[in-house]
Structure 1
Amino acid sequence: MQQLLPISLRAFVALAEAGTLGAAGDAIGRTPSAVSLQISLLERTLGHRLFNRGARGMQLSEAGKVLLHHARILFKAESQALAALRDAPLPGELRFGMPQDFAASRLVHTLDRFRRAHPQVRVHACIERNRVVAALARKGELDLALLISRGSAPRALLSHQRNSHWYAGRDFQWKRRQPLPLVLLEEPCIYRSDAIRALERSGIAWALSFSTADVSAMWAAVAAGVGVTVRMDLGAPRHVVQVDETLALPALPATALSLVSPRSSASPSVEALATLVGRALKRKAGAAVSG
């Protein structure tokens, strides 16, 4: 039986209303390529072309116009249902996972706000290495997860591209004739790989000064002046600073921060928490969330 995935329908409506892949991606927090993929999946599922691609850009086909009419009805009904349930108590329990990077961030305050707003929901927070959270999400052992990846994660409710930077303690000094001391998480770690690859491509000698499985220990070593590390521009503590320009270090590839619901249908409590987390991420789209 054919099924229309909500994420595909939202990408379709966003593109129909915005007119371009870029604007549609901005509207729903996804990359243009992710929007294009969802449209292609939707067209294959329905067996109809939904857009005519021409000199004037993306124009709705006749089938697209029919789908847009019904999609708006569906989303209106969804909004009405959510509004009707918004003030009702949400029972049950919820398992939320996020990387250690955000253990001391304002996202934790978001969890506290959710608990106060919905005291009947028992929230089990899993704060682990990113690879552990990703593995639990793949197994379906989490209801909602925040993940770091190279591109937008599959089944992402929203995704933000984040720049990566070099970080050091405020008093860190490096004599360029000596290898650059690195403070890194143990493998596998996307930032560890990015840091080493960028330095080797630039011909900068490096030495591993500190390696750990714990993000808090990593930041403590960086703050103490043991060396520099690489992380996304979200979640860095205030006692470290970006040193990309001051140390003339090479540029780094971006990563994506995605909010994922592994289950095909989310409960009202999952939807409510996803909304709060999504708002927190959007508010901090241009600044760190460390608090």
Structure 2
Amino acid sequence: MITDLLDLDLLRTFVLAVDMDSFARAAEQVSRSQSAVSLQMQRLEEITGHKLFLKQGRGWRLTASGELLLGYARQLLEINNKAVEALTATHIAGRVKLGLLADFSESGLPLVLARFASVHPQVEIEVTIDRQAVMLQKLQAGKLDVITTFGTHTPEDAIAIGRLPLRWIGGNNKTIALQEPLPLLLFESPCLFRAAGLEALDKVKRSWRPALTSASVAGMWAAAQAGLGITIRTEMGLPAGCIPLSATAGLPPLSEVHIFMLTYQKSPSPAVKRLIDILRETLTEQVNEIRKRTKKRHGL
């Protein structure tokens, strides 16, 4: 029976001993004697009320209780490290240049900025919202530190966030998907979503016409809400009045798209690194929520 709170100092030594498979090497890492580390492990067994180690030849192995504790110990230490990093990094100052697609600007940006400003009030954030091709050019020129973007795959040097299915999206006009030719709301070429949608229609030999061509996501959302046509996006940043069309609409299936971040520098500054961490956490939460909604909608 556990008789006390778990001591992070003991857990850190415990994890080191397991990872290094040696009390002696763990002792070197924590600047203690081997006997002191042995006493720490005995104390940990007393606190947990379980035997954590079993002798095996000249060495030892973890018991089932030891294996169980190891997983939780790693999680507790990770949370502790994140808390310490966040609290001690409030002195970070400087400027961060962030590039976002419009899909992320309304749903994710306010939360990201609020989270970042709460721990790094001295950092100035410059936000650019533009098309993917433009942001890539600015990133390569060093005019942006980090951008969020979509792709058919996640590059090796990118920071992965997740994947989302592409969707046919319209307004409340339920018959628009039946029109021939199909009225489409399209981004100007080149555009990943445009290419994916037209390829899917070509495969089933479905005729289409451009009802609107725009360089603005907001313009396409407005046209969809007005019932002018159907567009192709993910559900990220989907506004009120726009809905993903179900399979019963008779439209061909679409592929998934990868969401990731690209950075200008391989080793970004502390301010940029912290923004990347918050971006990844916030957008991953949103991606997972969209995927949950999609599964629920399809009864999966």
Give your verdict on TM over 0.5. yes
The residue identity in structure 2 corresponding to 1:256 is H
- Give the one of 249, 252, 256 matched to 1:250: 252
Q: Which has the higher helix share?
A: 2
- 1:67-146 residue pairs with structure 2 within 5 A? 83=85, 86-146=88-148
- Structure 2 residue runs of 5 or longer lacking an equivalent are 1-18, 20-77, 292-300
Q: CA deviation at 1:109?
A: 2.4
Q: Check conservation: 1:163, 1:254, Cα contact below 8 A.
A: yes
State the secondary structure of the residue aligned to 1:285. Answer: helix
Q: Check conservation: 2:100, 2:147, Cα contact below 8 A.
A: yes
Q: Check conservation: 1:93, 1:123, Cα contact below 8 A.
A: yes
Q: CA deviation at 1:190?
A: 0.7
Instruction: Quote the Cα distance in structure 1 between the aligned partners of 2:177 and 2:168.
Output: 16
The residue identity in structure 2 corresponding to 1:240 is C
The residue identity in structure 2 corresponding to 1:168 is G
Q: CA deviation at 1:250?
A: 0.6
Instruction: Quote the Cα distance in structure 1 between the aligned partners of 2:178 and 2:167.
Output: 19
Q: Check conservation: 2:164, 2:258, Cα contact below 8 A.
A: yes
Q: 1:85 to 1:222 in 2, by over 3 A?
A: same
Instruction: Quote the Cα distance in structure 1 between the aligned partners of 2:241 and 2:188.
Output: 22
Instruction: Please report the RMSD computed on the Cα atoms of aligned residues, expressed in angstroms.
Output: 2.7
State the secondary structure of the residue aligned to 1:286. Answer: helix
Q: Check conservation: 1:90, 1:118, Cα contact below 8 A.
A: yes
Which residue in the other structure is 2:284 paired with?
A: 282
Please report the TM-score for the alignment, with normalisation by the length of structure 1.
0.67
Superimposed CA distance per residue, residues 223-253 of structure 1 (whole angstroms, 9 cap, x where no aligned partner) = 1100001112322223211114131211112
The number of residues matched between the two structures is: 215
Instruction: Quote the Cα distance in structure 2 between the aligned partners of 1:144 and 1:82.
Output: 24
Q: 1:176 to 1:87 in 2, by over 3 A?
A: closer
Which residue in the other structure is 2:157 paired with?
A: 155
Instruction: Quote the Cα distance in structure 1 between the aligned partners of 2:199 and 2:159.
Output: 31
Q: Check conservation: 1:158, 1:260, Cα contact below 8 A.
A: no
Instruction: Quote the Cα distance in structure 2 between the aligned partners of 1:176 and 1:283.
Output: 35
Q: Check conservation: 2:86, 2:119, Cα contact below 8 A.
A: no
Q: 1:193 to 1:174 in 2, by over 3 A?
A: same
Which residue in the other structure is 2:272 paired with?
A: 270
Rg: which structure is higher?
2
- 1:115-264 residue pairs with structure 2 within 5 A? 115-174=117-176, 176=178, 178-264=180-266
Superimposed CA distance per residue, residues 137-187 of structure 1 (whole angstroms, 9 cap, x where no aligned partner) = 222321111011111034212231221010000234237362110001111
Q: Check conservation: 1:99, 1:127, Cα contact below 8 A.
A: yes
Please report the TM-score for the alignment, with normalisation by the length of structure 2.
0.65
Identity %: 28
Q: CA deviation at 1:103?
A: 2.0
- Structure 1 residue runs of 5 or longer lacking an equivalent are 1-16, 18-75
Q: 1:191 to 1:121 in 2, by over 3 A?
A: same
